[in-house]
Structure 1
């Protein structure tokens, strides 16, 4: 194996001057670790970030608390187990995208309406994937947008299959699809169905359109595609009563 030059290992990482300063410094430290530098001493970290050793030590203490780094017996630092779990989540998302996006593209081609895949994030729902309608009038939700969990077809379906006890949720679990008009925004309507993997609920696929183009007959198309996506992910798509 060729020897890695000390000059290559001494390249400094530029710290961001935007955002929260302490977070930027901590992230700058994480960026120092790579295949050629899996372990670093406090001195090396301070030199390569330009931080005082006392500042670097405080950042490392926070990273250790989150198990993003660990301190070894020889005093050097290495990446911690949280990095592995984050990478596993990243790999899962990448593989999920490869399965979800063809379904969303097909839905848009069939219906000419916007199709999206939403997941729960905290007390909201996140638009994880989306294919925009090719029609001029459509809603303008983007990937990464957070939406209410208690409004809109997608939010109501997520809550229903997470165990919400109200009568409307029970009906959603029985029907396996929900089509509603003007719930989140008066001018926008939606149709949504749940998606499962072998472990349970993953998210929902949702079709959105201006209310004047709302067609409840599209519910059957959304439901059948949610079933197909569920089967691709190894889950079971069946009514819950």
Structure 2
């Protein structure tokens, strides 16, 4: 490969990364964004954003709103619908969620690492109790706060050092009491796929008052059993 070809390939990858950063910035906002807002969110020059927006507009991934603002387009919805139809994780996870809810635990959810700083709630099912944690499918949450985030850090590729993460790795469980919201709590366990590769965190969350020591002791074997069943179904193993 010539140096010119290598340079073009490098530019091509950079362009894709930049376009995806624009889509991610729009996804993270509840309102359409203008060029200045997109520039602050992505760190890109407005001229660069305008060039990339033309391609995103043509492909339907972005739409123009009021001539000066931009929002996600219908192609993103089509991708989401396709994901809903074909994602095999859903077929494994929701029957397990249903059994957990039937066992009278707090609300189950499944989280994956989205970025260095964030995790994504991929699936969620409300418990039979009232819930205060307000976690929804598609929510992006801080990786460093909450039980699911700490599991993703502890069992991630880098194996974060520290006494807290050592305890999580030793027990296979993370417990969070009032970290993201002082009224809420959660507990989580890792889920592994083939070659014991971490793919996500299975968590139970709800009002903090329902995470007393006796509650945690009752829910722990239910959570670890569910993580084990899910890992086995995906070709992994828990305990790890």
TM-score (norm 2): 0.63
> What is residue 194 of structure 1 aligned with on the other side?
190
| Residues 1:216 and 2:223 are matched in the alignment | no
1:155 maps to 149
Structure 2 residue 58 is matched with structure 1 residue 29: yes
What is the CA RMSD across the aligned residues, in angstroms? 2.7
Distance 1:28 1:194 in 2: 39
- Is the 2:173–2:188 contact (alpha carbons within 8 Å) kept by the matching residues of 1? yes
Q: Which residue in the other structure is 2:14 paired with?
A: none
Give the direction of change, closer, same or farther, for the CA distance of 1:185–1:93 in structure 2 (3 Å limit). farther
Aligned-partner SS, 2:90: helix
Larger Cα-atom Rg: 1
Q: 1:92: how far off? A: 10
| More helix as a share of residues | 2
Paired residues for 1:120-199 under 5 Å: 120-122=113-115, 123-162=117-156, 163-199=159-195
Q: Which runs of 5+ in 1 are unaligned?
A: 1-17, 32-85
Structure 2 vs 1, CA of residues 185 and 155 (structure 1 numbering), >3 Å: closer, same or farther?
A: same
User: Conserved in 1, the CA contact under 8 Å of 2:154 and 2:169?
Assistant: yes
Instruction: Output the TM-score relative to the length of structure 1.
Output: 0.62
- In the other structure, the counterpart of 1:102 is 95
- 1:91 shift after superposition: 8.7
- Structure 1 residue 227 displacement after superposition: 0.5
Aligned residue-pair number? 168
Residue 114 of structure 1: CA displacement? 0.9
Task: Find the residue that maps to 1:184 and give its secondary structure.
Answer: coil
Structure 2: unaligned runs, 5 residues or longer:
1-31, 36-49, 61-78
